[in-house]
Amino acid sequence: MTDTHTTSHDVTRLPAPTRRTVVVAGAAGAALLPLTGRRARAADGTAADTPVFAHGVASGDPLPDGVLLWTRVTPVPEATPGSGTGPAVEVAWEVAEDPGFTSVVTSGRTTATAASDHTVKADVRGLRPATEYHYRFSVAGTRSPVGRTRTAPADGTTADRVRFGVVSCSHYESGFFTAYRHLAARDDLDAVLHLGDYIYEYGKGEFPLKDGVVREMRPVHETVTLADYRQRHAHYKSDPDLAALHAAHPVIAIWDDHEVANDTWSGGAENHTPGAEGDWAARARAARQAYFEWMPVRPSVEGTVHRRLRFGDLADLHLLDLRSFRDRQAGFGSGDVDDPDRTITGRAQLDWLKSSLASSPTRWHLVGTSVMISPMAFGSVPAYLLGPLAELLGVPREGLAVNVDQWDGYTDDRRELLTHLRESGIDNTVFLTGDIHMAFASDVPVRAATYPLQRPVATEFVVTSVTSDNLDDFLRVPAHTVSSVAEAAVRAANRHTKWVDMDSHGYGVLDVTAERTQMDYYALSDKTDPRATAHHVRSYRTGSGTQRVERAEGPVR
């Protein structure tokens, strides 16, 4: 992370707003969201020989007194992302209380270099809690788009509510990022939580696609080298809807497998063959370096993404890294899933999570986990549906009750964590999950076999994909035509699962108050339509102290 030099000014002149001013009107028309994708122009219309900000701006990991700011400078002469070339560029940044920057509260300078692919971060501190700010960067008179961000409530202070957009699984070739556009247009979010698969590593056409390649990504080949991963991140951030999301809200992100390769574990991945794709350790290092260069994320001291953010006395958000420390996935049907020596979290991370949950003073304990923790068994799912479900859920086509890439494949870690919640009397734990391109609302029991006689110890909300194919896509049928059979079978075999949607693409909005936590699920009209609309599908909530989900009448207003 690039060092920054911060100049602090008085930040106590105005009271914190109770809710944000509406400044984002839509995909491309909002004042905050213009994305400079071409060389800056001088007054006479000729190309100016100055750097530009072709990849927008972003903020992330909000704290009560600060936030992380990000941008990338396209230097002159222009350097292709990932090339490792181009001159060093001095970059100025400033943070203001208003979008017109008449009241600048802090500013600083840093340097964009080829060593970091000309990306820069400013870890700004000295801001007020629970306050909206605006920020921008500049180089030699050329200014970036303006971003909007928000700090977290102060530790120990009463927060009435906190609200997050929740997304995962955005495969570029599969469709358009209209889910991001709809979240960018909301003025009521404190942050957006991205639960993994922000990028995909596949080459052109390698991911199963119902609609074929909707749009082509760069590079067209599979990402393996540092230059490849940098170019893939750069291409994603050239998308106007993703740029709008980053400009409108701070993003809190964790990674899953596709930020590196499919079904990643600590020593390899399903989508990695050493003879064809080189050394695994070198590939993983390259992917992670590009991730921290291109994402507004603070790495933990171990260089992973597991960390905790606090939102007043209302909620702690524990963010897990379930790829860096896990053992290799067990074989389908193998008893190794119950081996106590196998781990999905790693010993140190599991101990950290247990301790953090036990010591947390907040009302709610949110856990961002990239793969589903609720057990998943199969009953009488018809044979023609087992194949597509096996692809999505990572289970054997024979229908065995094991999902080896998720917590089902590491049952001892799950048992230890859930038993800890029960024996320590830790209420109000809510797991927030992506990965499987479906939406779920579930109670989380220690042992599914004794549910509902044994009280659940947590709840889980799983959000569907932004674009990545799900059941109707695999079956090549219209949404919600065939999947109802599979959904009913899954619910029958898993009594703790209260709802599942196997066909929609979209996003969630999580609203947290002292009384309850509620997830509102939204679906897109058509992921292949760049003008797709979004509509509310269902809402589920868990009341404080209940550890159970129930259907809510409608979305939170």
C-beta atoms surrounding 19 within 10 Å? 10
Query: Which of 148, 154, 150, 178 has its CA nearest to residue 163?
Result: 150
Q: What is the pLDDT of residue 196?
A: 98
- Bridge partners for 150 per DSSP: 132
* Model pLDDT, residue 210: 67
**Nearest-CA neighbor of 171 among 232, 254, 240, 251?**
232
Sequence-separated (6 or more) residues with CB below 8 Å from residue 35? 54, 56, 145, 238, 240, 243, 244
Which residues does the chain have with pLDDT short of 50?
1-48, 396-399, 401
Looking up tokens 């936030």 gives 67
Task: Please give the radius of gyration of the chain, using alpha carbons only, rounded to the nearest integer.
Answer: 23
CB distance 127 to 66 below 8 Å: yes
The pLDDT, as a whole number, for residue 382 is 62
Strands 315-319 and 364-369: parallel
Within 13 Å, how many C-alpha atoms sit on residue 546's CB side? 15
> Residue 434 phi/psi, 5° resolution?
-125, -135
Interatomic CA distance for residues 538 and 553, integer angstroms: 8
For residue 57, give every residue at least 6 positions away whose Cβ sits within 8 Å of its Cβ, in sequence order, or none.
69, 70, 71, 135, 136, 137, 144, 145, 146, 147, 246, 247
- Amino acid at residue number 303: G
Domains in the chain: ranges and CATH: 5-150 (2.60.40.380), 161-551 (3.60.21.70)
- Buried b / exposed e over 308-340, threshold 16 CB at 10 Å, is bbbbbbbbbbbbbbbbbbbbbbbebeeebbeee
The dihedral formed by the CA atoms of 300, 304, 305 and 311, expressed in degrees to the nearest 10: -20
pLDDT in tens, 485-523: 888 888 988 999 999 999 999 999 999 999 999 999 999
Distance separating alpha carbons of residues 294 and 286, to the nearest angstrom: 12
How far is it, in rounded angstroms, from Cα 242 to Cα 55? 10
Angstrom distance (rounded) from CA 533 to CA 415: 41
Residue 62 CA to residue 342 CA, distance in Å, equals 34
Tokens 């065939």, residue located: 482
Q: What is the pLDDT of residue 381?
A: 60
Q: For residue 331, give the 3-state DSSP assignment.
A: coil
Let me know: does 172 contact 207? Beta carbons within 8 Å: no
